[in-house]
Structure 1
């Protein structure tokens, strides 16, 4: 299983808008790829979020993302997402992982 983890900081008063954007983006993603996403909010820093998305495999992920990124609406949603970031912490950290099971 291929896993993408994003870390970013959302303004505390923009969480409702954040989830609205995530829901709309998810609808676009589901046209092209099956995924499971978990959103984690830090207890120590309420602006800090982790987004963990799991995909069947890396090859399908990259093939599908090309199609997702061609959607005009996804670009609009990303701009909206960026406007929710904490102004002095605008960086979006991104990492890729492979999920492993014992014995694999």
Structure 2
């Protein structure tokens, strides 16, 4: 939906009495400033983190997955390497997950 359509929708809500004039002005200013509306759009923190996730070129042993995870989570990369190693020992899930992340996550 375009900004003009959003403003028209807000104006209809104001005309019906659902929004007060102050609420209409605040919502209109938020739309014009480029902020995403509450509860909508791709402004969810998890989505933003996933969009920033990249494999690290500087902190990598094999593919840089653990270095990239370290950057977005705040944990040290050696902790992620340990987690993948432990997961590898329990059925090989760590290796499968690492390979999938290596293939599908772009490098920085």
TM-score by length of 1: 0.24
Q: Which has the higher contact order (CA 8 A, sep 6+)?
A: 1
User: TM-score with structure 2 length normalisation?
Assistant: 0.23
Greater strand content: 1
Rg bigger for which structure? 2
| Higher relative helix content | 2
